[in-house]
């Protein structure tokens, strides 16, 4: 499938700093009505220039990255009912390879675009052995190495360079040449796909998708798992999703996919992600059957309650933001479920105590407001909302800790996926 041919637009339009409603709709493959709804709901920031609505390109790209949040319209050619094979993971849910090495299995995995290691942590919980990872952010690599190698003692090669470089891939191949690779997991960036196909092939961020596919084709794991934002499904009116399925079919992998909500797997946060699972050995692709619902969700309050009276402790990433008395009063006055700023509804937000948190974002993870105290949540508290174990420590400055946490796959979601994949391999 040649996605580039879906639309041809001059390069100057691709690079525009300010775009119109019509251009935004064309770029993301949605209707103008949908874009206007997102603007009206405060999900997509805009400004008035000569009494006309205009959108900064950086705000638009961020909105697309976060799944075009605030839109309710679904493209007709995106499947509403996926062909999903659900596996009940509840019997193995109490197993935890992160804290109990006796729950580990014989299966090995590689994590591409590992970040700080949220998905890797979940796979270890499910009993998988990490043998290699690749991540370009130095702070995230420092975090990964500290938790997986220094603390947990895994014999693992961690590569801290650009996965697009041929020598980086070769080092990866050399590091695992004596090991059987059962699974490759990765959450490739998708921002380039969001540009409506105008320069899909040329966008450097999309090359990361191609690099992952190249590594999978070279190493030939039995199973591949890909994670991404829910909005990927509607990018280019579903054509990106179709391309991924077809690309992997060409290299021998049958793919099934669906959207999973992290709250359904014990994560105290509403966080939806599309999960692609494929194999090349003729097995059934299983997704984990939800094991939590509205009556049993783990709440924000349950997750952060242990830190309510805890003093600051930089060693565990529990450092308070320094607010003025005026700001403390403003934060205290925010009603649960509302934000400090009227037109910025997904930041400076006070999620209800007795429900899962709103989705934690990389770009403003530090401005989630505490429901009971007049301050923002600490990195430790936000990590708890992402379901990271309390002994998982983040390196770097507070800014970079928050970036790592906000970018991560919730470990418990990773565990659920890992348990379903383990069942595939066991069959």
* Paired tokens of 409: 């796959």
Report the relative pairing of strands 108-112 and 129-134 from DSSP bridges. Answer: parallel
Tens digits of residue pLDDT in 227-286: 998 888 887 778 888 989 999 999 999 999 999 999 999 999 999 999 999 999 999 999
Top-tier CATH class for 85-295+409-426: alpha beta
Please list the active-site residues: 190
Higher pLDDT, 200 or 272: 272
Is it the case that residue 60 has pLDDT exceeding 70?
yes
Model confidence, pTM = 0.81
Average pLDDT, the chain: 86
Tens digits of residue pLDDT in 350-409: 999 999 999 888 754 457 899 999 999 999 999 999 999 999 999 999 999 999 999 999
Q: Which CATH superfamily is domain 300-394 in?
A: DNA Methylase, subunit A, domain 2 (3.90.120.10)
Residues of the chain with CATH 3.40.50.150: 85-295+409-426
Is it the case that residue 106 has pLDDT exceeding 80?
yes
Is it the case that residue 27 has pLDDT exceeding 60?
yes
Tens digits of residue pLDDT in 287-331: 999 999 999 999 999 999 999 999 999 999 999 999 999 999 999
CA distances from 297 to 94, 107, 220 (A): 16, 30, 37
**How far apart, in whole angstroms, are the C-alpha atoms of residue 215 and residue 207?**
12
Of 165, 282, 276, nearest to 214 (Cα)? 165
**How far apart, in whole angstroms, are the C-alpha atoms of residue 361 and residue 351?**
13
Q: What is the side-by-side order of every strand in the sheet holding 47-49?
A: 18-19, 52-56, 47-49
Q: Does domain 3-65 have CATH number 1.10.1660?
A: yes
Higher pLDDT, 53 or 110: 110
């Amino acid at each position: 499938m040649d996605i580039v041919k879906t639309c041809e637009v001059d390069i100057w339009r691709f690079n525009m700093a300010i775009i119109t409603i019509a251009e935004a709709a064309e770029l993301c493959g949605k209707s103008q009505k949908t874009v206007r709804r997102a603007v009206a709901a405060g999900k997509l920031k805009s400004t008035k220039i000569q009494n006309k609505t205009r959108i900064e390109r950086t705000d638009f790209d961020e909105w697309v990255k976060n799944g075009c949040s605030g839109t309710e319209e679904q493209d007709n050619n995106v499947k509403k009912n996926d062909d999903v094979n659900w596996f009940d993971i509840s019997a193995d849910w109490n197993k935890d390879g992160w804290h109990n090495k006796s729950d580990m299995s014989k299966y090995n995995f590689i994590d591409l675009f590992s970040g700080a290691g949220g998905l890797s942590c979940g796979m270890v919980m499910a009993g998988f052995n990490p043998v290699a990872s690749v991540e370009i952010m130095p702070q995230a690599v420092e975090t990964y190495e500290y938790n997986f190698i220094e603390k947990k003692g895994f014999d693992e090669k961690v590569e801290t360079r650009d996965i697009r470089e041929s020598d980086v891939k070769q080092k990866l191949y050399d590091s695992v040449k004596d090991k059987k690779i059962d699974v490759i997991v990765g959450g490739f960036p998708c921002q380039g796909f969001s540009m409506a196909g105008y320069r899909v092939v040329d966008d450097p961020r999309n090359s990361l998708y191609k690099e992952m596919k190249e590594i999978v084709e070279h190493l030939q794991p039995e199973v591949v798992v890909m994670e991404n934002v829910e909005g990927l499904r509607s990018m280019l009116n579903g054509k990106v999703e179709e391309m991924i399925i077809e690309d992997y079919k060409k290299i021998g992998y049958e793919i099934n996919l669906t959207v999973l909500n992290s709250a359904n797997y014990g994560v105290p946060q509403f966080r939806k992600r599309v999960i692609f699972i494929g194999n090349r050995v003729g097995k059934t692709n299983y997704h984990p059957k939800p094991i939590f619902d509205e009556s049993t969700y783990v709440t924000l309050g349950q997750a952060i309650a242990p830190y309510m009276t805890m003093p600051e402790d930089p060693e565990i990433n529990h450092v308070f933001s320094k607010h003025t008395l005026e700001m403390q009063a403003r934060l205290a006055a925010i009603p649960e479920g509302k934000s400090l700023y009227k037109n910025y509804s997904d930041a400076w937000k006070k999620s209800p105590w007795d429900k899962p948190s709103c989705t934690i974002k990389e770009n403003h993870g530090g401005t989630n407001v505490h429901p009971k105290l007049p301050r923002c949540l600490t990195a430790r508290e936000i990590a708890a909302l992402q379901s990271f174990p309390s002994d998982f420590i983040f390196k770097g400055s507070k800014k970079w800790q928050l970036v790592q946490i906000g970018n991560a796959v919730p470990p418990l979601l990773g565990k659920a996926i890992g348990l379903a994949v383990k069942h595939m391999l066991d069959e």
